[in-house]
Structure 1
């Protein structure tokens, strides 16, 4: 696990080597060789640590790992101090460079002094490395031999006895038996997938041992697939079990060929328990004969990608999610209250429910915790102690150690970059909604992401996240239309495991007033109550990341103190902090790469923000900033500039979203990928400059005048990677004149247009990748539906006062993939028709404040997939037709959820049930 600290040091090495390239050649030579030697040493340390990971059996080896980690931390600190001192050299603007050179000259700053100091400190680090090499005889460029203590990495996922009851999975069991005993003659592979402890092995074991399955097949075998696959050993185990199940002698040598010949002409069932990789499956399944006896293979795995790879069809993939609450409660009571026949005492019921909730439906966790509590006194105080410590004791308590045993090999199997990303979830508070794109930007700022070929860092980081989700270590809690995760989390007990691991490697600490001064280097901290004294009692010079996340009432002065003590910080997230002005101490954080001040009351950003020359993300969402200083334009590394805020209580009004004013000069920020929302200027100079931002993925522009439309189209055509475009005119009566694009961005997925349209822009119909479009206050004289209905991937359509006509007709065959439709504030609309075959996939329909629409859409009963009808401020005549005693009620009987709201003057939304 110490290789995590090595990877952080390697990131610093890359930064230093880049900075040395800016020095004169003679100055480079003075230190570059030493830094490159550190790079080689760190990579060797990392390779040896990767071999040790999970095998630190002796106290001596654990101490050696700690020493290596400390050396890596020291290297990172030495390099960070150098980068801090030379960071002013990277403004990349000639005028400011000259100004800064004079300023630093006035302070008698000499770049060579930093270089010489770096050389001196590297010499000290070399001494530490040499002492470790001598002790452990690690293989270095000028040395030999290998690390001691390396052992086999083979780890087998254990079968956990003691919870063989099938609770809550009856449907999966019946489906498995049905698929195993079907008359299908070909060989079929069935995958059972889910996170560790979800009951995969238990379910399959019960099916495997059932009399129906034993009678059905000539022979059978159950093998566990180890992390380090020994294929011949695996085949030998299969052959032995196949023979024993028929009471036949076991053939001798040549396991591979013997197994194939033995199975020829026989009907067999095989369970491959806990497959780790697709390559394992490829090595195993090709051995089996392709007969027509109805052979069956069941694969269990924690990796969704592996499950899909093994099973031929989606119907043969059983994805085990959490137990439903009643089944989870029954299983818990059976284990926790065994002597009393599973009856929970009334005084323990509330605590028991909370404990079951924390197990989040995982059978293994429920059984482990229930078994632990069955040995405790049935006292509320005793059970509260278990509840409060649950998740933090999974590695230390014998009854809970099985959870750690399942998670540890999965963690050990992760490559270093994914270990960093996985541990990062301990940074967020329990039950905190983790935005995936925020997480991606944080990972990049931390240096966890290595670019690969033509991919951007963001694309690589998204791939990292998807891999953790596929491994069932992280769970997507909300998906976007394109299937990408928007929010994610880890299970509560997994979070406990992560916290324990992060503490072992000094990855993260939550500091409070009661904490004693720790004798360790703190890398990431969350700021809590009492930080005003912590800055004086704790050494925070090694802190690289600091977070707030609504933890306590921290004062602005306490935040300033913390920042002044943490000058090497790269990530600073102060969202929701009680700040009404920009903390001056931030300007001292020369190495800052990520700055979030979201949901604060800050009104102004100082021009000296230009000092933060490494800044990649500036998140000012929902602050009160209305103007950005020109200093922003000197942040040449800036990739994400997010700045706007909502006027709450004014949804569906023109001024709901507020953007910011900027001066001209933004064309220099050529690394920008997200820019939202900025105001256009009177002469469209800013709009023209946007054409230089060819790396943009998201652009949000407000206050566009009609005569600026042509300039905007010219700029947008140059943004070949653009996926989101959000444009608003200056006011509700101003036209958006945007029909000038011949080649719109080919990857555009989201389009938001707010303002009048003289005619519907023809280029929109060319957007084959578009899955969401919002048209607000367009007031088109002709219906936009004909131009939109053939878009092949459109999933969501929202229209607010988008059409002045009295009729909307959704034609047969149109909107083939549309799932969500919002129709709002159509003043003249009195008729909606849905022809047979239109919108066959529609799931949700919203109708808001269409005051002349007095009857249900004709053909709404044709929408067989619709699940929700949402109505707001609709006429009484309309809602009356929904009542059960009205003949139109039959048209909506198939809709599972119908809701009607009234928006009152105070912004409340009381529910009225029309049925």
Structure 2
């Protein structure tokens, strides 16, 4: 993205001008000149993305701006690298008697670097001046090609491509929307239909709008088409004209000269005495609804407004008060197949020899009606005898979309969403093209990558991570992404882009030379490579193209044996990678830390996750810009003292899990460090540090890390409790706290926290508790609590039941009492409850009104628990009950065939009983009279073949 490249460069230019850098005479003025000119270009660039495809001259100009910005960034970064060694060897302090001499020496040593950047900047300045003279004028100002720049596209594009017959199963959603329209409510209500472009939102709304019963009920009605580019005054005047046409009155001649407020008032007067239906199709901005709603009176006659939008936030906002969101879903597999065959084979069934390849093509359409109709139309002209021709389409689906005129309309409809994105989100979205297709992308991984690339703008009062998280949520709300996996408490864990939308985004990424994907297929390399994703490819491909590299990001996605020919040591020695900011080597078959990595001075993000690396060298201190060091699931158990010199490090993640058992006390291994980590003041996440050696001093160091959001501690001793309490009181931003004692009999003494971190959301305690820490019940933001080996004598529920946001609660050997009592109104938002190895527990009482929102209950290894929980029938929202290694008496009482307590759980859709047998879990369904579940495709069975929770944080 040219605008993102320029924005990032402008920040670097500002820093360069502010720093006390001894530039050549005149260079500072040249840098300021370049900065001023690019500032003037930025306004054009922010609008150019949706226009350049229609204007070749603009496209060439934008490409040149992007390349100049990249050249300037390279010059600055290369200059910075040349200064690094000299700066480290010539540090001086103001006022030092040798400082003047040191300045002279430093100036002489850096003379070559300063001459080089002066020459580079002079050349770039000349190019910028040429660009400035050729700068286009857009938005209707100027002449020539700039006058033709327009992002308008018929907002009914998807509706024109989709007919009612194309929306398989439209009857049910149509009925649901009609029911909302006819609902007996006198207030004006808004029905928002939202979802990804191409789902048929407009088609559905049109079918409802044209229904004779709807027209009869709402005699005053109007349909307003919106495009991304609109003027509010024109929109309201068009609505005014529509309404006059419906009621059969001539439009006042003065409407053309009316001010916007007068138009609103006229519409309101026209509608005041009628029941009306207004449809706003394809709403892209909240301010559209803000402007229109003031003209639509709430006249208590049962009036309705229907909105279609791709943005969930707009749908929710417009429905606030009186209204209802209607999320249009993707087609189920069978309905998608029916539509595909009807369109591809003119109503006939699919030829048997083509079924396999056709189902693969259909899968790429991802249940999107528009895609299925468009792709089917393109395939319908192909002969059915040559299967190879169909296989080529499947293999080169992205190229087929780009080169097939019959798919152009579909591409335009899907591209609308991209063009409408704010400029700061476009680079974030394009970055997703670097991940393999259908790859589930980790939420936090993506956020850290965006930050390292410089895509995230700082906002007052927020960390960069919080801003990036808001970016991700905005992409979700705009239907670019969907959640693949959630945490037990409902937060997003992984996400993915729709396959077809990914092809559109990948095309834009390639067209704008944003990223290069090196896979197992032959690649035509671009002139410049700044971001490289290696997907199951060998080093030979990279070596042939090393001279093209000016890399900022290198991501690798490979099978375990695919890197046998890949030499990271050799790669890191190339000049083309010396400017790297991101190096992600997750899952690579590395056994040793590549020493050359420490020479990548600009590196901000380094991930060696899931590798076999065992140690980190002290020379890592050279990576002074490093912000994320991810060593999760490596064999690193100790970090060098020099790690404390990484003052910008924000995320230090070092731990691995054992596979033996989730209930094993030493399930997780952390790391030891003898460094003064209190110097690492930027740290936000520190997991999992082992504190059994030098723990007294280490607790003092932890107290200095006041920016921590997540802290994981292992091997805690009782005597260090007071010092840890003092440290935690200083961590006012803490969101997640995990503490594990040195062994399961060691007491965790964390009772004396007088000022607990009020933003704490997740708490994990593994070790004995002499008594329940009273400060926990003051944490109103807690949504997850896991307690293990606490062995409390008093019922811990009394301290947790009033936490308003607690959603997930798990106990393992927490309580030695005989009964648990869930009181009425307790745990108002609890969704998941797990009870494990409570050996003394023999009964459980659930009062009516307790845990009203509980959806999943897991009870396991409670050998004395033979009676069905009293009051379990009150849990009306319960979806799943899972019993693991529980007494036969309990299971028998719950069976549907004669079980005396079956009535208590008959409302629960899924009830399973599971036993550990011969190294695996045997799963039985109570609904099928204890029949063993053997269907490998049964999702619940697959899930319960593992323990209910792995206690992973």
Smaller-chain TM-score bracket: over 0.9
Partner Cα distance (2:6, 2:783) in 1: 42
Show the counterpart of 1:721: 733
Show the counterpart of 2:259: none
Partner Cα distance (1:557, 1:210) in 2: 63
Partner Cα distance (2:573, 2:902) in 1: 66
Show the counterpart of 1:358: 364
Q: What secondary structure is seen at the aligned counterpart in 2 of 1:124? A: helix
| 1:32 lines up with 2:28 in the alignment | yes
Change (3 A) 1:754 1:666: same
Partner Cα distance (2:690, 2:713) in 1: 6
Q: TM-score, normalised by structure 2?
A: 0.90
**How far 1:96 sits from its partner (Å)?**
14
Show the counterpart of 2:950: none
1:796–1:819 Cα contact (<8 Å) kept:
yes
Show the counterpart of 1:124: 123
Alignment of 1:207-356 (within 5 A): 207-254=208-255, 256=263, 258-313=266-321, 316-338=324-346, 341-356=347-362
Alignment of 1:54-133 (within 5 A): 54-56=50-52, 57-87=54-84, 110-133=109-132
Partner Cα distance (2:523, 2:304) in 1: 59
Partner Cα distance (1:15, 1:572) in 2: 24
1:219–1:243 Cα contact (<8 Å) kept:
no
Q: What secondary structure is seen at the aligned counterpart in 1 of 2:551? A: coil
**How far 1:789 sits from its partner (Å)?**
1.2
Q: What secondary structure is seen at the aligned counterpart in 1 of 2:529? A: coil
**In terms of mean alpha carbon deviation, does 350-359 or 653-662 score higher?**
350-359
Change (3 A) 1:816 1:135: closer
1:735–1:756 Cα contact (<8 Å) kept:
yes
Change (3 A) 1:428 1:61: same
From 910, 914, 920, give the equivalent of 1:897: 910
From 567, 571, 577, give the equivalent of 1:558: 567
| 1:473 lines up with 2:483 in the alignment | no
Alignment of 1:524-539 (within 5 A): 524-527=531-534, 528-539=536-547
Partner Cα distance (2:89, 2:756) in 1: 32
**How far 1:66 sits from its partner (Å)?**
2.0
Partner Cα distance (2:477, 2:326) in 1: 14
Partner Cα distance (2:300, 2:545) in 1: 74
Show the counterpart of 2:942: none
Partner Cα distance (1:102, 1:872) in 2: 75
From 576, 587, 592, give the equivalent of 1:576: 587
From 687, 708, 712, give the equivalent of 1:696: 708
Partner Cα distance (1:517, 1:348) in 2: 31
1:176–1:207 Cα contact (<8 Å) kept:
yes
- What does the per-residue CA deviation read over 1:482-527, in whole Å, with 9 as the maximum and x for residues that have no partner? 7643222110011001110001111111124764673411111112
- What does the per-residue CA deviation read over 1:72-129, in whole Å, with 9 as the maximum and x for residues that have no partner? 221121112112223457889989999xx99999999823432332122100111111
Change (3 A) 1:168 1:96: farther
Q: What secondary structure is seen at the aligned counterpart in 1 of 2:292? A: helix
Show the counterpart of 2:937: none
2:624–2:648 Cα contact (<8 Å) kept:
yes
**How far 1:433 sits from its partner (Å)?**
1.4
Change (3 A) 1:750 1:183: closer
Partner Cα distance (2:682, 2:326) in 1: 44
- What does the per-residue CA deviation read over 1:833-873, in whole Å, with 9 as the maximum and x for residues that have no partner? 22222222111111121122223222222221111111222
Name stretches of at least 5 consecutive residues in structure 1 with no aligned partner. Answer: none
Change (3 A) 1:102 1:288: same
Show the counterpart of 1:835: 847
Show the counterpart of 1:776: 788
Partner Cα distance (2:886, 2:878) in 1: 20
2:815–2:838 Cα contact (<8 Å) kept:
yes
Show the counterpart of 2:945: none
**In terms of mean alpha carbon deviation, does 598-607 or 147-156 score higher?**
147-156
Alignment of 1:263-662 (within 5 A): 263-313=271-321, 316-338=324-346, 341-379=347-385, 380-480=387-487, 484-512=491-519, 515=522, 518-527=525-534, 528-550=536-558, 553-555=562-564, 557-565=566-574, 566-662=577-673
Partner Cα distance (1:188, 1:226) in 2: 24
**In terms of mean alpha carbon deviation, does 462-471 or 314-323 score higher?**
314-323
Show the counterpart of 1:204: 205
Count of paired positions: 902
**In terms of mean alpha carbon deviation, does 798-807 or 525-534 score higher?**
525-534
From 852, 856, 861, give the equivalent of 1:844: 856
1:12–1:80 Cα contact (<8 Å) kept:
no
Q: What secondary structure is seen at the aligned counterpart in 2 of 1:555? A: coil
- What does the per-residue CA deviation read over 1:217-270, in whole Å, with 9 as the maximum and x for residues that have no partner? 223221111223223322333233333334443332226255444434233222
Change (3 A) 1:9 1:252: same
Q: What secondary structure is seen at the aligned counterpart in 2 of 1:719? A: coil
1:137–1:147 Cα contact (<8 Å) kept:
no
Partner Cα distance (1:909, 1:15) in 2: 59
Partner Cα distance (2:519, 2:565) in 1: 16
Change (3 A) 1:30 1:690: farther
RMSD: 2.9
- What does the per-residue CA deviation read over 1:727-763, in whole Å, with 9 as the maximum and x for residues that have no partner? 0010111110110101100100000000011111111
**In terms of mean alpha carbon deviation, does 868-877 or 246-255 score higher?**
246-255
Change (3 A) 1:481 1:105: farther
**How far 1:545 sits from its partner (Å)?**
0.3
1:446–1:571 Cα contact (<8 Å) kept:
yes
Partner Cα distance (1:772, 1:519) in 2: 48
**How far 1:664 sits from its partner (Å)?**
3.5
**How far 1:590 sits from its partner (Å)?**
0.7
Alignment of 1:765-844 (within 5 A): 765-844=777-856
Partner Cα distance (2:267, 2:220) in 1: 12
Partner Cα distance (2:777, 2:272) in 1: 57
Partner Cα distance (1:317, 1:736) in 2: 48
2:398–2:503 Cα contact (<8 Å) kept:
yes
